Amino acid sequence: MLVWRGTTLEMNPSLDPAIVAEAYEDDPESAAAEYGAEFREGVSDFVPREVVRDCTVQGRGELLPQPGAGYVAFVDPSGGSADSMTLAIAHQESGVAVLDALREWRPPFSPEAVVADFAALLRKYRIGRVVGDRYAGEWPRERFAAHRIEYRVSEHTKGEIYRDVLPLLNGRRAELLDVPRLASQLCALERRTARGGRDSIDHPPGGHDDVANAAAGALLLAGARQPMQISDADIAAMRAPGRARRW
């Protein structure tokens, strides 16, 4: 049996090396399989601990809202009995996705009370729209709408969010809050590779990633989209009783 093993650049020297270099910067493990002729392990770490450490701003627990900054928010809903319900707020600054605030309510809790708390924080950052997953059908949309906050379903699955935020982390184009639970959950995430080469990224069995999921979702929104801002007049209208308004 004859086996030939070579990297992409060895087999195709005409390929622009910058393409390969950029792929390694975004996701070293995936690039090693795609361009480096390296076999992949069945289970591996999602992101190295040193990358999380380098992206974390030491001593920064939360950032106050700043005039002119465009904020986005991502929520990971929960029914209040098993998983935490989390909210993350972020903005983009000079090409860097900055995590500003992170909230976690651990079970047991009242989902209605948590949504009210989150809505108050969103108004503080002048955010009129939050993005989250399809958890529990319509109840997150209805509960946030009661507080004049639009709940929009994410276009990405949780695994896709982790995959797409990885280049921001590896490229040091993200700033994380100094929250031990966030760092712990990010470092615990596992990348599992199926036989067809497709990746899935999730917490290990028995683990949790509610904080990491909200943070990754907010960072991805900050790095990729234009935020929706609301004015002081809009906030006053949201607080006025009996005033229904769509955002």
pLDDT tens-digit profile of 75-105? 999 877 778 999 999 999 999 999 999 999 9
CA distances from 229 to 52, 67, 73, 92, 182 (A): 29, 11, 11, 14, 26
Mean pLDDT of 56-63: 98
pLDDT score recorded for residue 2: 80
The structural architecture, per CATH, of the domain 46-239 is 2-Layer Sandwich (3.30)
pLDDT score recorded for residue 227: 43
Task: For 180-219, write each residue's pLDDT tens digit.
Answer: 999 999 999 999 876 666 778 988 888 899 999 999 999 9
pLDDT score recorded for residue 232: 55
